[in-house]
Structure 1
Amino acid sequence: MHIFCVGGSVRDFLLGRPGGDMDYTVLGCSEAEFERAFPRAHKVGKTHPVYLLQGRQYTVSSAPSIDRDLQDRDLTINALAMDPKGYLYAHPRAVSDLVGRILRPVAAKNFYADPLRVIRAARFKAGLPGFRLLPGLHHLLGRVASSGLLAQVAAERVGREVRLACQGQMPGHFVRVLATASALHPWLAELEEMDWKTTAKIMDLVAGKEQRTWMALVHACKGLQVEPKHDSEPDTTAGAAAADIGHRLRLPNDFIAAGRLAATWQQAASHYATLEASLRVRLLLKLDRLAVMDDFWTLIRASTGEDFSARARCELHTVLSVHLPPALQGLGRRSGEHLHWLRCRALEDN
């Protein structure tokens, strides 16, 4: 049995970047032999022999050698491995592409074998914005996307890549690569109806926090309006569209809720200074309940150029300081309606 540290962790070590998750490839043994050697390893792969052990991922490879295993990787800069003694194994172009800051596919067939690599390539551009995506790779992404194979990828795997893209230095590149390669469908098809260039720009402006970047990704979702809606009204159908994307990608509930809120309220919040008190109270309480006050107003500032955050925090304090008198407590819906009215009055009088 031979165990090699592989992929991104080796790449980041060579680039002098902070280390992330460590991934390992295991050669020269069967799954049963690996499980006997590491009885605490937990198998997580459904179609591939992938295990988790002490927070690290191990893949049992059937390749006859580590050099052959590297030929099945996605990009040359990820076709890297290091043995326990620190000896480096690399694709013939891996090191030169690292030096030249180039994103190059190892082989086209590898992307057809695992179409998730289309999404991963876009994610790497988001995380390594200084790297150049070769035209050949861009064309390959489009060809694989047009084949319809992306629909066969497990939702959880796509969702993980989207979240990693939202952690990137320039997450807008994730959208730019997929959009220009016609690879948004089926997982992010809603973005095809949006101004994705503006969405990508806003994602870059709010970069630095994963959930906030996710909110930027879906904030401009378009709802299905039956009747014309005034800009100052929350758009619940847009919020539903954003939530649909989150559910499709099997994202955590807090991400889905934050994305729904961003899409529902972003247009109304851009008019916060003139928004009626009733809507301001509703918005502020939602932001406070989801603990996304700072993230939401950072998004609004990025999309409108106006900063309402100080006023919003002040008004939230006012809203939360209002309490029902004892005589109006315990009356069910009537109590809630009166508390809302008192809070609106407090904002109007403030």
Structure 2
Amino acid sequence: MQRFIVGGAVRDRLLGLPHSDTDWVVVGATPQQMVDAGYRNVGADFPVFLHPETGEEHALARTERKSGRGYRGFAVYAAPDVTLEDDLRRRDLTINAMALREDGTLVDPWGGERDLRERVLRHVSPAFVEDPVRVLRVARFAARFTEFSLAGETLELMRRMVAEGELDHLVPERVWQELARGLMEPRPSRMLEVLRDCGALAVLLPEVDRLWGVPQPEAHHPEVDTGVHLLLVLDCAARLHAPLPVRFACLGHDLGKGTTPAEILPRHLGHEMRSVKLLQDVCERLKVPNDCAHLAEVVAREHGNVHRSGDFNAKALLRLLERCDALRRPERFEQLLLACECDARGRAGREDVDYPQRRRLRAVLGWARGMDAHAASAQAVARGLKGPAIGEAVQQARVAAIEAGLAGWAGQDEDGGEPFGL
């Protein structure tokens, strides 16, 4: 029985990158031998075991044979006669198909070290086409390893997989998992670019794919193309280390522009509510988690109002807070403001523009929440008010608190920020 470190731990070690998880492949063993040695069996689809001391995953060397459509359509064979080279051959990219012996010696039968040096993402073998998840994984790796190019022959295989309908058999949960991981990479725009190049974006996210070629007013969007704007917004979110809900909200904030009637282009009147409807369809189809789905809907609906909020009076500002449920959910409102800043700065030549709306609205929320609602309610009762009139009195007190705050704020951001267009 021999053990080898495999996969990402080997790749990242050669790149000098930190890695947290270490996966092992075991050659020359049976499941019973693993159990007898103290390992705990946790594999549902193929033999995977946890080390009795370290808890690290150890999988028996295995081969896979295509037996159906989709990423689950495989027959797995794991036995002592499966070699390390056989196991590595079934992996997606050469840079992920290397192994280390326990003495630190590199095993590289498929040229992974060479492709690391040359900064190339390349498939291991023609068996790449058998697993549609690999299309998403390659796009995600392109977003992570931003200096790597995609081998032309690998791109052609991905296009073939799309054309043959392999992606139609992906389950929503797996699509979301890979999409979410790609959004959290250093340059998420590359994931979308690769998915577009191979045709996968039109299959998986047609609402996003149709944004390319849609014009916007050049005065507000020097990049003009809505799809290009989306890429800039996503990369701004990455630069600002935004969490996943913010990045997903950035992905979906302008979906409605893809359905703007041609006769009113490049203006996009009413695109916010069209974006909300399209987002709801996407979230239902991909089973997007609630924290991501709910924030994305609020951002799609309100980002234009946030951009224009420098011109709002106290009453309009309070209505904006209420529509965003900011008084009850200030943390989500902060994420909304970050997504709007990414939208404002995701424009050609405006990547470093100031966004005072975020500071101002954060202050407005503080004034509104800092008002003593209990005292305002008690005063209303003491004045003989009842029912809805009490609530109205509390609202008036909040407006007064915002007005007082704005009076002290005057001069800090005199112009209210750049009038970002939609």
TM over 0.5: yes
Q: What's 1:318 paired with?
A: 367
User: Hey, what's the Cα distance between the residues in 2 that align with 1:24 and 1:333?
Assistant: 65
Q: Taking structure 1 as reference, are residues 37 and 235 closer, same or farther at Cα in structure 2, changes over 3 Å only?
A: farther
Quote how far apart the aligned CAs of 1:278 are.
Answer: 4.0
Query: 2:139, 2:195 within 8 Å by CA — same for their partners in 1?
Result: yes
Unaligned runs of 5+ in 1: none
Check conservation: 2:377, 2:390, Cα contact below 8 A: no
SS at match of 2:142: helix
Task: Name the amino acid aligned to 2:84.
Answer: I
Corresponding residue for residue 2 of structure 1: 2
Deviation at 1:120, TM superposition (A): 0.3
Could you tell me which residue of structure 2 aligns to residue 151 of structure 1?
Answer: 168
**Which residue of the partner structure matches residue 120 of structure 2?**
102
Task: Return the alpha-carbon distance in structure 2 between the equivalents of residues 58 and 266 of structure 1.
Answer: 48
Q: How does 1:173-192 map to 2 (within 5 A)?
A: 173-192=190-209
Q: CA deviation at 1:273?
A: 1.6
**Structure 1 stretch 217-226 or stretch 85-94: which is displaced more?**
217-226
1: distance between equivalents of 2:38 and 2:131?
Answer: 27
Within 1, Cα distance between the matches of 2:276 and 2:50? 36
Using the alignment, how far apart are the partners of 2:387 and 2:32 within structure 1?
Answer: 61
Q: Please tell me the residue identity of whatever aligns with 1:11.
A: R
Quick one: structure 1 residues 31 and 209, their matched pair in 2 at CA, closer, same or farther if it must change by over 3 Å? farther
Kindly tell me: are residues 273 and 69 of structure 1, through their superposed partners in 2, closer, same or farther at Cα, counting changes over 3 Å?
same
Deviations 1:47-84 (A, max 9, x none): 44456677744433324111111111111111111232
CA–CA distance in structure 2, aligned partners of residues 333 and 38 of structure 1:
68
1:82 and 2:116 matched: no
Aligned partners of 2:40 and 2:326: how far apart in 1? Answer: 43
Paired position in structure 1 for 2:70: none
Residues 28 and 300 from structure 1, CA distance in 2 versus in 1: closer, same or farther, beyond 3 angstroms?
same
- Mean CA deviation greater in 200-209 or 7-16: 200-209
What does residue 280 of structure 1 align with? 320
Distance 1:337 1:94, change over 3 A: farther
Q: Does 1:241 align with 2:272?
A: no
Bigger CA drift: 266-275 or 4-13? Answer: 266-275
For 1:221, the equivalent position in structure 2 comes to 255
Larger radius of gyration: 2
Residue 139 (structure 2) aligns with: 122
SS state at 1:25 partner: strand
Give the Cα separation in 1 of the matches to 2:260 and 2:395.
28
> What residue identity is the alignment partner of 1:59?
A
Residues 338 and 187 of structure 1, relative CA distance in 2, 3 Å threshold: farther
Task: Label 1:35 to 1:244 Cα distance change in 2 as closer, same or farther (>3 A).
Answer: farther
Q: 1:270 aligns to what SS in structure 2? A: helix
Question: CA 1:314/1:29 → structure 2, altered by over 3 Å: closer, same or farther?
Answer: same
Aligned to 1:205: 236
1:252 to 2:283 alignment = no
Contact 2:6 2:98 in 1 (8 A): yes
8 Å contact kept, 2:195–2:201: yes
Compared CA separation, residues 262 and 271, structure 1 to 2 (3 A): same
Task: Tell me which amino acid in the other structure corresponds to 2:16.
Answer: G
Change (3 A) 1:149 1:59: farther
Report the more deviating stretch, 258-267 or 173-182.
258-267
CA distances 1:158-198 after superposition (whole Å, capped 9, x unpaired): 22222221221111111111012210144322212323322
The alignment covers a number of residue pairs equal to: 345
Corresponding residue for residue 18 of structure 2: 18
What displacement does 1:214 show? 2.3
Distance 2:228 2:322 in 1: 31
Deviation at 1:86? 1.8
TM-score by length of 2: 0.71
RMSD (CA atoms) = 3.3
Q: Distance in 2 between matches of 1:318 and 1:82?
A: 59
| Structure 2: gaps spanning 5 or more residues | 64-81, 212-225, 346-353, 407-422
Amino acid at match of 1:102: V
CA deviation profile, 1:300-327 (whole Å, cap 9, x unmatched): 2232245111101110111102214225
Letter in 2 for 1:139: E
Distance 2:83 2:112 in 1: 17
Segment drifting more, 131-140 vs 319-328: 319-328
